[in-house]
Amino acid sequence: MTEQESQILLIIFGGIFLGAIMSSFVVAMVVLHRQRQVQNKQKINQLQTEFEKTLLNVENEIQQETLTHIGRELHDNIGQLLSLSKLYLGSSKPEKQAEGRNLITKIITEVRGLSKTLNLDWVESMSLQDFISQQLQKIQETGFCETSLHTNGKEPSFPKDKKLVLIRVIQECLNNAIKHASPSKIEVNIPQNPGEYQIHISDNGKGFDTSVKSEGSGMYNLKKRMETIGGKFLVTSTPGKGTEIKLFLPN
């Protein structure tokens, strides 16, 4: 075999070897890509399952709170109004009977208002800002502490399920401040940030050391709930200097 023939064979075998390497590389990339597709699909399914579970828990919690509220209203408010209306309507004085009829009208209005809270349709009709404003007003009316709400910009439109989870997270943040922080003021800020909706909830209460692991799972659950709707939960706090919670959700 001549030197030229040896070089040709070397080139041929080299080409075959390089082709085999390239083929193996392509096959490996295809297999890796399919594995990633399967992993991504599994991750998406897991996130969907977590979101559905979170949504179900949130709906159950809100409905349970609603039933508790309705029971309290029926006993303390509507029950008292019915008793008064019965006394007034049983009176022989026209002015008392008129007052009884006015009370019946008020009772009807109150019952209609309660009936609307039995389902979650109010979530779609109420903006987050209105919901936060109502919650803060309720806190202030109790005399527990001062509250304030600062907004900047138009509120984006969120699907009902995401809004429901966000509403529950906001409720829990406010409840935690009331139960654990003993603040004299709770403040909510909604800054304008293109591409990302933010809610900042702060109080001037006791605060806590975030580096110390809590015995409860409250903060962890709130963080996981925000993650299920594609958001983020960030808390900063210092003992004696209050707490600030920031909720981030892409528009």
Largest CA distance in the chain: 132
In this prediction, residue 215 carries a pLDDT of: 58
Taking the C-alpha atoms of residue 215 and residue 187, their distance in angstroms, rounded to an integer, is 26
In this prediction, residue 245 carries a pLDDT of: 96
Collapsing DSSP to helix, strand or coil, 187 comes out as: strand
- Altogether, the residues listed in the chain come to a count of 251
Q: Are strands 196-203 and 243-250 parallel, antiparallel or unpaired?
A: antiparallel
Decide: pTM greater than 0.85. Answer: no
CATH 3.30.565.10 in the chain, residue ranges: 122-250
CATH code, 122-250: 3.30.565.10
Query: Mind listing the pLDDT tens digit for each residue in 147-163?
Result: 999 998 788 888 888 88
Contact 141, 179 (CB under 8 A): no
Taking the C-alpha atoms of residue 118 and residue 98, their distance in angstroms, rounded to an integer, is 31
CB 64: neighbour CB atoms within 10 A? 10
Query: Mind listing the pLDDT tens digit for each residue in 100-158?
Result: 888 898 888 888 877 776 767 778 888 899 999 999 998 998 899 999 999 987 888 88
Whose tokens are 């993650």? That residue is: 227
Taking the C-alpha atoms of residue 68 and residue 117, their distance in angstroms, rounded to an integer, is 11
